Amino acid sequence: MDTDSLAVHSIVEQLRSYSQRQFSGCIEIQDQQEQHWYLHYHLGRIIWATGGHHSHRRWRRLMSQHKLHVDLSKISLRTPEEISYWDYHVLVILLKRQSFTRDQISPVVEHSVHEVLFDVLQQAAAQQITYYGEVHRTLSATITLLHGEQAVNQVYDEWL
């Protein structure tokens, strides 16, 4: 196993362990260029992932792909948590307003998690990354719960 594969394997094992330990909180991952990704867990299940250079573009593309058209000017975010994770909270607001169903919104969450995990593995292969979990930083609302180990394994298998 070369150094790049070892780094990828290490982050995969760490992310699996957060699921196995039923971690609740946010995993912040950072590369050497200070690019950040955030994985939000609830009892070992992944509820949201965001970050990277083009997180806004990813969110808009996924919304468009799933035919969820939104006028962002009609949505106001009030709390620091909502503003920090505006992309997720817009989905929560749309669900609460019944603008879209959970079945319509869940694929956006699933694809965002998938893409962020894939980006993290690519960065781990290319350069050193650091990560840490913060228990006190959790999202207050849950749209869907993704089995963390399965999500990580699926992306890892695709990456290989």
Helices 86-96 and 55-65: crossing angle, nearest 10°?
30
Angle, CA 28 vertex, CA 83 and CA 80 arms, to 5°: 15
pTM of structure: 0.93
> What does each of the 160 residues of the chain score in pLDDT, given as a tens digit?
455 678 899 999 999 999 999 999 999 999 999 999 999 999 999 999 999 989 999 999 999 999 999 998 889 888 888 888 999 999 999 999 999 999 999 999 999 999 999 999 999 999 999 998 888 778 888 999 999 999 999 999 998 8
- CA gap 122, 109 in Å, rounded: 20
Given the DSSP bridges, would you call strands 45-51 and 129-134 parallel, antiparallel or unpaired?
Answer: unpaired
For residue 13, count other CB atoms closer than 10 A to its CB. Answer: 11
Whole-number pLDDT of residue 117 = 97
Closest CA to 34 of 48, 52, 49: 52
Whole-number pLDDT of residue 1 = 46
Whole-number pLDDT of residue 135 = 83
- CA gap 74, 6 in Å, rounded: 47
For residue 28, the surrounding DSSP H or E stretch is strand 25-31
